[in-house]
Structure 1
Amino acid sequence: MKKEEIRQEIREQKASLSKEVIDLQSSIIREQFLALREYKECSQLILYAAFNQEVNTLPLIRQALLDGKKVALPRVMKETIEFYYINSISDLEESAFGIPEPEPVDILQLEKNFNLILVPGLAFDKQGNRIGYGKSFYDRYFISHEESFLKICFAYGFQVYEEIPFEAHDVKIDILITKDGVLRI
């Protein structure tokens, strides 16, 4: 199957999810994330605000802020993304695509040794490959920064394939979390 065929298949399956299923699975996935040693030990993390039937991250953003973590979220800047710190959910504004983004005020300062980042995606495999939304924002961001990232993805079970196509520029993920557990790659 080609990347675009997989994207279409996943979009159709996500569109059929009920709010109850999204809420239940999102809650289970978030709890597994919050239990990670890496989460407990980090002082800052890079998240994204979910949209379009993604695993709901807004409660996670609130919890991280309550836990005293510095939280940064992405903002699309033409052909790239940059990450900016927020102090609350109210710091987010809706983009032209309907995605909640931070105001471009307080830019993320990456840590040299370890940056925990939650990466969105449509499809994943057990070898750490990821199919995103097709713009390669995250792949280009990782390639353009020398810092170390621990890349974590949330997924519904139907988003996980045995194997998906990938290209040389695609950056692999490190941890995949579904309602069924945590897969360290």
Structure 2
Amino acid sequence: MSADSTDEMELLARRFKEATRERIKRTRLATPPEARLARAAKIAENVRTLPEFGAARTVLAYAAVRGEADVGALEADVRARGGRWVLPRVEGSSLTLHEVPEGEPLVPGAFGIPEPSPSFPVVAPEDVDFALIPALAVDERGHRIGWGGGFYDRLLGRLTCAFRCAVVYDFQLIAEAPVQGHDVAVDAVVSERQCLIFGRG
């Protein structure tokens, strides 16, 4: 394949991803809050059916913003079995992971996303057993489209021992996402109606 063809494919992939981001963001923000809450509750129920989640002692989650599916209800499940609830914090161009002590508040972070305090215990990516991964869209092969910053693509490759599960609403599932060199697939995707398991990538 020529360099020109490769450049053209990269350009088309970027355009597709940007158009998909805009469409999903509009749909997600147009969904009434009560509908999002109901769907998030069903998503949590579906995550609970995964044996990988039930066995996990260290679970990476995220603080939901901008209409994302809220996975906070799963924190109680993890703590009830003596597990660790972990959230990411932006540090430069990477995400660092921190255990959140029970009852401790988050602090305002980069991009308006609540984050753990840098004083909270650091967790190595390879110590995570199960990772709840946000996305703007995920396709039927486990390839996700994020916000475009590449933070989670860089993190996913470091979660070497984790079962990586994208969390989305049903309307965020797409037939196929273009795959670029930096993209890393997830092992499963859960929505309010479906659990799709792809296997460890």
Q: What's the TM-score once normalised by structure 1's chain length?
A: 0.91
Verify the 8 A CA contact 2:138 2:172 in the aligned structure 1: yes
- Work out which of the residue numbers 158, 182, 190 in structure 2 matches 1:169: 182
Runs of 5+ consecutive residues of structure 1 not aligned to the other structure: none
Give the Cα–Cα distance (whole angstroms) in 2 for the partners of residues 146 and 153 of structure 1: 13
Aligned to 2:75: 61
Distance change in 2, residues 1:119/1:6 (3 Å): same
Aligned to 2:89: 75
Aligned to 1:22: 36
Q: Pairwise mapping of residues 112-131 of structure 1 onto structure 2 (< 5 A)?
A: 115-131=129-145
Percent identity (aligned): 29
Aligned to 2:165: 152
SS across alignment from 1:163: coil
Verify the 8 A CA contact 1:152 1:174 in the aligned structure 2: yes
Give the Cα–Cα distance (whole angstroms) in 1 for the partners of residues 173 and 180 of structure 2: 18
SS across alignment from 2:154: helix
Give the Cα–Cα distance (whole angstroms) in 2 for the partners of residues 172 and 61 of structure 1: 24
Q: What number of residue pairs does the alignment pair up?
A: 183
Verify the 8 A CA contact 1:153 1:176 in the aligned structure 2: yes
Give the Cα–Cα distance (whole angstroms) in 2 for the partners of residues 170 and 179 of structure 1: 25
Q: What's the TM-score once normalised by structure 2's chain length?
A: 0.84
Give the Cα–Cα distance (whole angstroms) in 2 for the partners of residues 124 and 157 of structure 1: 10
SS across alignment from 1:173: coil
Give the Cα–Cα distance (whole angstroms) in 1 for the partners of residues 93 and 159 of structure 2: 20
Q: Which deviations, in whole Å up to 9, do the C-alpha atoms of 1:59-107 show, x marking residues without a partner?
A: 2224322332111100001211100001125331122422111011210
- Work out which of the residue numbers 47, 52, 60 in structure 1 matches 2:66: 52
Verify the 8 A CA contact 1:65 1:87 in the aligned structure 2: no
SS across alignment from 1:90: coil
Give the Cα–Cα distance (whole angstroms) in 1 for the partners of residues 107 and 81 of structure 2: 23
Cα RMSD for the two superposed structures:
1.8
Letter matched to residue 140 of structure 2? K
- Work out which of the residue numbers 35, 54, 65 in structure 1 matches 2:49: 35
* Structure 1 residue ranges, 4+ long, deviating more than 6 angstroms after superposition: none
Offset at residue 35 of structure 1 (A): 2.2
- Name the one with the larger helix percent: 2
Aligned to 1:84: 98
Letter matched to residue 73 of structure 2? P
Verify the 8 A CA contact 2:137 2:144 in the aligned structure 1: yes
Q: Which deviations, in whole Å up to 9, do the C-alpha atoms of 1:119-170 show, x marking residues without a partner?
A: 1110110111100110111111233x37233110111111011111121210
Verify the 8 A CA contact 2:46 2:190 in the aligned structure 1: yes
Aligned to 2:124: 109
